[in-house]
Amino acid sequence: MISVVQRVREARVEVDGQTVGAIGAGLLVLVCAERGDTEAEANKLLAKLLKLRIFSDDAGKMNKSVQDIGGGLLLVSQFTLAADTTGGNRPSFTQAAAPDEGRRLYDYFVAQARQAHPVVATGQFAADMQVHLVNDGPVTIPLRIAPAVA
């Protein structure tokens, strides 16, 4: 799975002018299931997100996690993270999981996050979404959890 993590002061997702998910301080996570991904990759990504120390401690050092600060998670599906632009100017998305599999893994990821963390909001899978955020820092980190090689 591939994701882009943004430390935010606040973030929200709108669909058709209606807010479908919002958080205060925390992490906005754009997430994409790629071909070959399984629940194992979703679990590893979630574990990494919950422990990622990118929030400042009292000394101003990035030493706290979203769990440490009691922040929210806003999880937004974004298949375009799997874009391949090596073949020209129009991106190819062949590395993204098929839509049904992408939805299944995204739903699984969200369900696991809700079991592990008290504040979880989402976008809407496959919708035309408008994402509003105040990036704190700015801090933006790409994360990729590759499938285990057999």
Residue of 6, 55, 79, 122 with catalytic role: 79
Residues of the chain with pLDDT under 50: none
In a domain, 125, yes or no: yes
Amino acid letter, residue 95:
Q
* Torsion angle, alpha carbons of 60, 64, 65, 68, to 10: -120
Residue of 18, 19, 55, 78 with catalytic role: 78
In a domain, 36, yes or no: yes
In a domain, 122, yes or no: yes
Residue 124: CATH number of its domain: 3.50.80.10
Q: Check residue 149 and give its pLDDT.
A: 62
Which pTM was predicted? 0.95
Q: Check residue 150 and give its pLDDT.
A: 57
Q: Check residue 121 and give its pLDDT.
A: 98
Q: Check residue 146 and give its pLDDT.
A: 87
Sorted by sequence, the CB contacts under 8 Å of residue 34 that are 6+ apart come out as: 1, 2, 82, 95, 96, 97
Annotated catalytic residue 80: yes
In a domain, 149, yes or no: no
